[in-house]
Amino acid sequence: MTSASSSPADRPPAHFRWSICGLLFLSIVVNYVHRLTIGILKDPLSQQLGWSETDYGQIAAAFSFAYAFGYLFGGRLLDRWGVKRGLPVFVLAWSLAATAHGLIALLDPSARVSFNYPWFSWAEKGLVWSTFGVPLTVFGFISARIALGLTQGGNFPGAVKAVAEWFPVRERALATGLFNVGSNVGAVLCPLLVQWMFVRWGWAATFYVTGLTGFIWVVLWWWLYEAPARHPRLSAAERTYILDGQPAVEEPKVSVPWRRLLRERAVWAYVLASIFAGPAWGFYQFFLPDFLKKTFAFDLAATARWTAFFFFLAAIGGVLGGWFAGKLLARGWAVAKARKTALLACALAVLPVGLAPFAGSPLLAVLIVGLAGSAHQGWSANLFSLVSDTMPRHAISSVVGLGGFVAYFTGGFVNGFTGLILERTGSYVPVFAYFSGMYLLSLLLVHLLVPRIDRA
Residue 116 has pLDDT above 80, yes or no: no
Q: Taking Cα atoms as reference points, which of 293, 422, 439 lies closest to residue 366?
A: 293
Residue 91 belongs to a domain: yes
pLDDT for residue 119 = 62
Mean pLDDT of all residues in 276-281: 88
Alpha helices in 202-334 (DSSP H): 203-224, 236-242, 258-261, 265-277, 279-296, 300-330
Distance CA 204, CA 56 (A): 17
CB 407 within 8 A of CB 68: yes
In percent, how much of the chain has pLDDT > 70? 88
Q: How many residues does the chain have?
A: 456
Range of the domain at 34: 15-105+136-449
pLDDT in tens, 251-276: 455 566 777 878 888 889 888 998 99
Question: What is the domain-level CATH number for residue 429?
Answer: 1.20.1250.20
Residue 127 belongs to a domain: no
What value, to the nearest 5°, has the Cα angle with vertex 254 and ends 88 and 163?
Answer: 45
Residue 246 has pLDDT above 70, yes or no: no
pLDDT for residue 184 = 72
Residue 327 has pLDDT above 60, yes or no: yes
Q: What is the DSSP letter of 133?
A: E
Task: Give backbone dihedrals phi and psi of 199, rounded to 5 degrees, phi first.
Answer: -60, -35
Residue 2 belongs to a domain: no
Q: How buried is residue 291: exposed, middle or buried, by Cβ count under 10 Å (0-12/13-18/19+)?
A: buried
Residue 122 has pLDDT above 70, yes or no: no
Mean pLDDT of all residues in 149-164: 86
Q: How buried is residue 149: exposed, middle or buried, by Cβ count under 10 Å (0-12/13-18/19+)?
A: buried
Structural domain count of the chain: 1
pLDDT in tens, 202-222: 999 999 999 999 999 999 998
Residue 156 belongs to a domain: yes
pLDDT in tens, 16-28: 888 888 899 999 9
Amino acid at 15: H
Residue 98 belongs to a domain: yes
Residue 454 belongs to a domain: no
Distance CA 83, CA 168 (A): 17
Distance CA 373, CA 318 (A): 9
Residue 2 has pLDDT above 50, yes or no: no
What is the rounded radius of gyration, in angstroms, for the C-alpha atoms of the chain? 22
Residue 34 belongs to a domain: yes
Amino acid at 242: I
Of 167 and 198, the structure prediction assigns the larger pLDDT to 198
Residue 248 belongs to a domain: yes
